[in-house]
Amino acid sequence: MLWRLVRWTGIGLLVLLIGVPVVFAVAFLGIQEASERQWLGQAPQHAAIDVRSREPHAVALLDVGFDSLAARLKLIEEAKESIELEFFIYELDESSRLINQALARKAAQGVKVRILVDFAMPVFKLAPQVARSLEQAGVQVRYYNTSGIARFFAMQHRTHRKLLVADRQKAIVGGRNIGNDYFDLSTHYNFLDSDLLIQGPIAAAIVDSFELYWASDWVTEPKDIAVDETDAPRINLLGNRTVAEERISAELRQHAAAPRFSTCRDTHFVTDYPGSGVERRKVYTAIAALVQEAKQHIVVESPYLVLRDDGVALMQGLLQRGVKLQFLTNTLRSTDAFYAVASLADSLDRFALENLEVWGYDGRPLKQNARPPASERWGVHGKRALFDDRTVVVGTYNMDPRSANLNSELIVICRDNPELAAAMTASLKARLAQSRAITGAPGARGYDALIEGADPDTIFQMRMVRPFASFLDFLL
């Protein structure tokens, strides 16, 4: 995902070669646009941005993509009044068609259905012509941040939030977008990801935050986007199912595992405000507070590991206090974003010096997956952490400057739930068992472990962009 975004913002590399003044000229245009659209000195206050509840919530970890798709379809099928979806990526493939068909059926029954999708051009698929068929079926569609390349900085701000809520009572949040590669269905490359299924009052707060985004000045209706009808995608989103879709649907009915619920009595939802500006980023502050509270052990999974200086300082403080810290991220073989690995490669000496324990997933299918793997190459995509074997965090926040500075993110924190913590521990151990020690652990092999198994073309691409990694890591 990130590599596709970097390909678009990679124009910064080209501009850099032409001349640094041009970069600043483009950036200035971006700042002007952001100023026009809610770049405020102080973010507004809204109750839905930070909500903590001590009422019992039923929670379940959705660790397997196939099961997560089944859970999404079940939430949609059981909805009686309203369904809200917000995603960074909304692909046009078998999984999205199954979801779209389910949404259309509910809309026909009078359920209010709304989709908010980010308009990041390199990964954007839900074109106005496509959205029209959903609108005709009664599904409302909106786009977030349609800024173009001329407004470079404004374009960098995205909603990276991923949520599905039914009837303000049940929600799924986490790292998965809508697409085959998030649900173990791609024949080329799949993500090992993680979501949290939540039943309880926090779901209403998630919807309230959705309303804040839906009503913001950053949102545009598809009908307001100029399109060339001759380029309209020849895709029938709502027609009869294909053979592949029928097969997937049958497998979901027969083989998808039911969620294993436990009870969380301290559930905390935090999200960022819509709009640009560091003052609107609240998730980073919440994560930093959790880090500072840690006493013994933190395990973090993130597909990209690009730490800001203040993030490194936080980690140094932990290590000085004797808190064990482990990172699980991607190697060059397992990543979908070689540019992010180039930045990580540039940081290895510093991480080794600080004794940060970094592990890289080796790219093979996870041995514990019950279904035969659809592809030979897999990468971690979960955005989650486990604190002191007691506190679970699942959300959309990557360990990179883009999540800290530019994107709108969300997290859900569940404190003191032994069952959920045990499920997270088992999941992380399974992925760590198929990972290589890069720094800070016995047998760590640094750069060699990072690039082992990657194809020569990817290694070449990574080496080509590595000289620019530190200069442009704020875009990652």
* Cα 265 to Cα 85: distance, rounded to the nearest angstrom: 26
Question: To the nearest whole number, what is the mean pLDDT of the chain?
Answer: 88
**The CATH number of the domain where 434 resides is what?**
3.30.870.10
Q: Is 54's pLDDT higher than 50?
A: yes
Residue 27 resides in a domain: no
The stretch 159-184 carries a mean pLDDT of 98
The stretch 161-176 carries a mean pLDDT of 99
Q: What percent of the chain has pLDDT over 90?
A: 72
**φ, ψ for residue 60, nearest 5 deg:** -145, 135
Confidence (pLDDT) at 6: 44
Domain closes at, from 255, 282, 303: 255
In terms of domains, do 249 and 293 share one?
no
Supply the pLDDT for residue 345: 95
Sign of CA dihedral 452, 403, 174, 325: positive
pLDDT (0 to 100) of residue 473: 66
Residue with tokens 């039911």: 258
Q: Which residues face 287 on adjacent strands?
A: none
Residue ending a domain, choose from 227, 255, 283: 255
CA atoms of 232 and 209, how far apart (whole Å): 33
Q: Are residues 203 and 120 in the same domain?
A: yes
Q: Give the per-residue pLDDT at 121.
A: 84
- List, for residues 256-310, the tens digit of each pLDDT value: 999 999 999 999 999 999 998 888 999 999 999 999 999 999 999 999 999 888 8
pLDDT of residue 374: 86
Q: 309 CB contacts (<8 Å, ≥6 apart)?
A: none
pLDDT of residue 468: 87
Q: Are residues 281 and 427 in the same domain?
A: yes
Mean pLDDT score, 60-70: 97
Mean pLDDT, range 159-177, rounded to an integer: 99
CB atoms closer than 10 angstroms to residue 419: 15
CB hemisphere CA count around 167 (13 angstroms) = 15
- Residue whose tokens read 């496509």: 130
Helix/strand/coil percentages in the chain, nearest 5: 40, 20, 35
Say whether pLDDT at 166 is over 60.
yes
Single-letter residue type at 347: S
Mean pLDDT of 443-459: 97
Domain co-membership, 225 together with 274: no
Instruction: Tell me which residue range forms the domain holding 333.
Output: 266-475
Q: Does the residue 38 lie in any domain? A: no
Residues 164, 281 within the same domain: no
* Residues 281, 184 share a domain: no
What pLDDT is recorded for position 235? 54
Domain presence at residue 41: no
Tokens of 194: 């993680």
79 found inside a domain = yes
pLDDT tens sequence across 219-252: 999 987 766 555 554 456 666 788 899 999 999 9
Question: Is residue 18 situated within a structural domain?
Answer: no
Q: Alpha-carbon distance 265 to 415, whole Å?
A: 8
Provide the pLDDT for residue 227. 62
Task: Look at residue 277 in the predicted model and tell me its pLDDT.
Answer: 83
- Domains identified in the chain, total number: 2
Q: Give the H/E segment covering residue 65.
A: helix 65-78
pLDDT at 14: 40
Question: Does 33 map to a domain?
Answer: no
Domain end point (choices 203, 225, 255): 255
Return d(Cα 366, Cα 363) in angstroms, integer: 9
From CA 245, how far away is CA 336, in angstroms rounded? 25
- pLDDT score at 463: 95
Q: Determine the pLDDT at residue 331.
A: 99
C-alpha to C-alpha distance for 213 and 409, rounded to whole angstroms: 12
Same domain flag for 325 and 186: no
Q: State whether 282 and 316 are in the same domain.
A: yes
| Alpha-carbon distances, residue 388 vs 58, 351, 356, 418 (angstroms) | 21, 22, 17, 11
Helices marked H in 123-242 — which ranges?
A: 128-136, 152-156, 202-214
C-alpha–C-alpha distance, residues 44 and 273, integer Å: 8
Residue 213 and residue 275 in one domain: no
| Cα–Cα nearest to 407, from 280, 261, 223, 317 | 280
Largest CA distance in the chain: 62
Report which of 170, 176, 174 is spatially closest to residue 96, judged by C-alpha positions. 176
- What integer is the mean pLDDT of 47-61? 96
Quick one: average pLDDT of 422-448?
97
CA distance linking residue 49 with residue 55, whole number of Å: 18
Residue 247 sits in the same domain as residue 272: no
Query: pLDDT by residue (tens digit) across 377-409?
Result: 999 999 999 999 999 999 999 999 999 999 999
244 lies in the same domain as 297: no
d(CA 78, CA 91): 23
Q: What is the pLDDT of residue 19?
A: 37
Write down the pLDDT at residue 373: 85
Interval 312-357: pLDDT, tens: 888 888 999 999 999 999 999 999 999 999 999 999 998 988 889 9
Determine how many CB atoms are found less than 10 A away from the CB of residue 388.
Answer: 15
Stretch 435-460: mean pLDDT: 97
> Is the model's pLDDT at 34 over the cut of 60?
no
String of DSSP letters for 322-338 = T-EEEEEEE-TTT-S-H
**418 and 367 part of one domain:** yes
- 308 assigned to some structural domain: yes
Question: Could you give the CA distance from residue 242 to residue 157 in angstroms, rounded to a whole number?
Answer: 37
24, pLDDT greater than 80:
no
Report which residue type is found at 263. T
- Helices 65-78 and 243-255 pack at an angle, to 10 degrees, of 90
19 domain residue, yes or no:
no
